[in-house]
Homo-oligomer: A and B are copies of this chain.
Amino acid sequence: MKNLKIGLLGLGTVGSGVYRILTANADKISVNAGKKIEISRILVGDLNKKRSLDIPAELLTDNVRDILDDPGIDIVVELLGGIHPAFEYMLEALNKKKHVVTANKAVIANYGSELAEAAAANMVALKYEASVAGGIPIINALSSALSGNEFFEIAGIVNGTTNYILTQMTEFGLNYEDVLKEAQDKGFAEADPTSDVEGEDVAYKLAILINTAFGLRIPPMNIPREGITKISKDDIEYASQFGYKIKLLAMAKRNGNELECGVQPALIPVAHPLASVSNEFNALFVKGDAVDDLMFYGKGAGSLPTGSAVVGDIIDIARKSDFPECCAFQPAEPPSDLRFTGDGLGMYYINFLVADVPGVLGKVSTAFGDHGISIESVMQRSKSKRAGDDVPVIYILHELHRKQLDQALAEICTYDFIKEVRSILRVEPLT
C-alpha cells in the first residue's frame, strides 16, 4: 500500500499540533486511514529558528516550490493564515491535482467557491474542518452524517477570545477593559483584538457555516455585525437578574433561498445549553428538518484541538484517495434575499439611565404601548443610590421589529428625564 505524502505549509501553533498528533498517534492513524501518513516536507519562514519539536532538519524548507512542484506530494496542508499567498498556494496545489486541507477561515470564507470549483475540476478534495470552531467536527457532521437533512437555523458561539472576556466579566463582575487587558497579558487575546471583539472573525466562520449548511454564498463582509466592546458589567448583571447570559452569537436562519443572518451580542436563557459554554469553549447549535436540535461543544482553538480537525480531514482523504471527492463547500448561489437577524422580529433588552422623578415608568411604558410594543419585564434599580443620582431602568420587550423599537425610542428620548439609552441588546429565547 502506497504511503500518503503530506506537504505542510506552516509550523506555527496549528502546524506543530498536526505534527505532534501524526507522530504520537501514528499507529492508530495508519489503521484508520488504511495507509501510512508521511509528512514529507514542511514550509517554514526561518530554517534556523529554535523549535520545541524535534523535527529532522531535512524535512524543513523555506521554499514553497519544494512542496508545490513535488509530484510525490499528495496533500498540501495549508496552515499559514492570512489570505495571500495562502489562497494562491492552495489554488496552485488543487490545479496540480493535490488534495488541500486548510485551517484558514479568511480564505475559505472569501474564496471558498473558487477553491471548491478548482477542486471539483481536478477531482481532488478541499477540506476545511479546522477553519470553524477548532476541534469541533461540525463541517464533517453537516456534510456527511447529517447530510440527509435540510438545515434552517444556526446559532453559535465561535470565538474563544470574546467568550472568555464575557465569561470573566460575568463570573467576577469585571469591566470589559480590565478583562481584555488581562487576556492580552495571558496571551488569550491578540495585541490588536479588533478582529475578535468586533465580530469579524465570527463573520468569517458564519459565512463558511452558511455555505456548508444552507448551500448559500455570502461574502463575510456582507454579514452585519456588532462586537462586544460596548457591553458593560451592568448589562451582564441586569441580564442575569432576568435569567439570561450575554453571549456573542453568530446566527443564521434560512427560508428557501432567503437568508437572515448576523453577528451580535445577545441575551440567552440561562437554562439553554449555549448559556453554559464558558471561557475559551465554542459551541454550535443547528436545526435540521429530520434531526431537529443538535449542539456541538468543544475547544474552538489551540494547537492540538485544531490539529485534531486537520488530521481528521487528512484521514478522510486517505480513506477515499482513489476516487474523486465531492467538496462540502459549494460554489453556491447568493441568497435571493438577505436580511440582518437584528432587523427581524425579536425580543429586546433596553437599559435606560433616567432621572429619579415620579412617573418615569408610567410614561416610558405608555410610549412603548402606543407603538404596539408589549413589555415582558421591567426593573428599576434605585437601591443604594444617593439622593439625586440618576437610576437605571431595564426593559425586556416582547417580539417586535427593530424599526418599531427605533420609532418608540425616538419618542421616549424626547422626555427630559431620559439621560441615556445605554444598551439595546437582542434577546434570543432559542426555543
On A, residues with C-beta under 8 Å from B are: 17, 20-22, 24-25, 28-29, 32, 34, 129, 135-137, 140-141, 143-150, 271-273, 275-278, 281, 288-299, 302, 304-305, 307-309, 311-316, 319-320, 322-323, 326
How distant is A101 from chain B, measured CB to nearest CB, in Å? 12
A271 — which chain B residues lie within 8 A by C-beta?
A: 276, 278
Identity of the chain B residue whose Cβ is nearest the Cβ of A320 in the assembled complex: B320
Which of A137, A271, A281, A299 counts the most B-chain CB atoms under 10 A from its CB?
A137
Bound-state CA distance A137–B309 (Å) is 16
Q: Are A290 and B308 CB-contacts (below 8 A) given A25-B149, A141-B145, A147-B29?
A: yes
Which listed residue, B135, B308, B322, touches A323 by the CB 8 Å rule?
A: B322
Give chain B residues whose Cβ lies under 8 Å from the Cβ of A292. 135, 298-299, 302, 304-305
**How would you classify the secondary structure of chain A's contact residues: helix, strand, loop or mixed?**
mixed
List the 3 closest pairs (A to B, CB-CB), nearest first: A148-B311, A137-B145, A290-B308
Task: State the CA gap A22–B141 with chains docked (Å).
Answer: 18
Q: Which residues of B contact A278 (CB under 8 A)?
A: 271
- Tell me the minimal C-beta distance from A126 to chain B in angstroms: 16
Given contacts A141-B137, A290-B21, A298-B293, contact A148 B273 (CB under 8 A): no
Q: Are A25 and B308 in contact (CB under 8 A)?
A: no
CA distance A20 to B148 in the complex (A): 11
Contacts of A291 in B (CB 8 A): 135, 298-299, 304-305, 308-309
Chain B min CB distance to A64 (Å): 25
A289 touches B136 (CB 8 A): no
Q: Pick the contact of A308 from B146, B304, B313 — CB < 8 Å?
A: B146
- Given the interface pairs A24-B289, A146-B308, the reply to whether A273 lies near B297 with Cβ below 8 Å is yes
User: Which of B137, B294, B313 is close to A298, meaning CB atoms less than 8 Å apart?
Assistant: B294
Q: Is the CB of B294 within 8 A of A307?
A: no
A312 and B148 contact, Cβ closer than 8 Å, known pairs A291-B298, A297-B297, A304-B291: yes
Q: Specify the chain B residue showing the minimal Cβ separation from A129.
A: B145
Closest beta carbon of chain B to A156's beta carbon, Å: 13
Give Cα A17–Cα B135 distance, bound, in whole angstroms.
31
Which one of A144, A150, A307, A322 has the highest number of Cβ atoms from chain B below 10 Å of its Cβ?
A144
Enumerate chain B residues within 8 angstroms of A326, measured Cβ to Cβ: 32, 34, 319
Q: How many whole Å from A412's CB to the nearest CB in chain B?
A: 36
| Complex alpha-carbon distance, A24 and B293, angstroms | 19
Please give, as numbers and ranges, the residues of chain B lying within 8 Å of A145 by CB-CB distance: 129, 137, 140-141, 309, 312-313, 316
Q: Are A312 and B147 in contact (CB under 8 A)?
A: yes
A294 touches B148 (CB 8 A): no
A272 to B, closest residue via Cβ: B276
Q: Give the complex CA separation of A17 and B302 in angstroms.
A: 39
CB distance from A36 to the nearest CB of B (A): 14
Q: Which B residues lie within 8 Å of A140 (CB)?
A: 140-141, 144-145
Report Cα–Cα, A295/B283, bound state, in Å: 9
Min CB distance, A431 to chain B, in Å? 12
**Residues on B with beta carbons closer than 8 Å to the beta carbon of A281:** 293
CA distance A274 to B371 in the complex (A): 42
In the complex, what's the smallest C-beta–C-beta distance from A28 to chain B, in angstroms? Answer: 6
Nearest chain B residue, comparing its CB with the CB of A28: B150
Interchain nearest-CB distance for A291 vs B (Å): 4
Q: List 7 A-B contacts (CB under 8 A).
A: A21-B290, A140-B144, A140-B145, A145-B313, A147-B315, A290-B307, A296-B296
In the complex, the answer to whether A304 meets B319 with C-beta atoms within 8 Å is: no
Say which residue of B25, B135, B275, B290 sits within 8 Å of A304 (CB atoms).
Answer: B290
* Alpha-carbon distance between A315 and B146 when the two chains are bound, in angstroms: 9
Contacts of A293 in B (CB 8 A): 281, 297-299
Measured in the bound complex, the distance between the Cα atoms of B273 and A38 in whole Å is: 38
A136 to B20, CA, bound (A): 29
Distance of A383 Cα from B32 Cα, bound (Å): 60
